[in-house]
Amino acid sequence: MTLKLKRAPMTHLPNIIFALLIGSFASADAAPPEAASVAAKQTTQDWTFEPDPTLPNVLIFGDAISIGYTLQVREHLQGKANVFRPMR
């Protein structure tokens, strides 16, 4: 028994190519980030703190995880642990 697969017509291909071309010309620097956006929070929040040498240290790995959660975890563990994220 042979199974024959039908190919879908490529009617959407020009629209996909057009969208990719337009998207490639868009720049992240084209407009400033919205006030409540993650990008705005990353540039406006203070990532520095003075670690307490008597407390254990916690290191949060991963860009998305560390950017998204370090400040909240640091606040939650204040007085219990020093919370760090890798900084370049």
Query: What's the Cα-to-Cα distance from 2 to each of 5, 8, rounded to whole Å?
Result: 10, 19
Domain ranges of the chain: 55-88
**Alpha-carbon span 37 to 40, nearest angstrom:** 5
C-alpha neighbours within 13 Å on the C-beta side of residue 24 = 6
Over the stretch 23-57, which tens digit does the pLDDT of each residue have?
Answer: 555 554 556 656 656 655 555 667 788 999 999 99
C-alpha neighbours within 13 Å on the C-beta side of residue 57 = 9
Closest residue by Cα to residue 71 from 43, 48, 53: 48
pTM of the full structure: 0.48
Q: 3-class SS at 15?
A: helix
Over the stretch 50-87, which tens digit does the pLDDT of each residue have?
Answer: 999 999 999 988 888 888 888 899 899 999 999 988 87
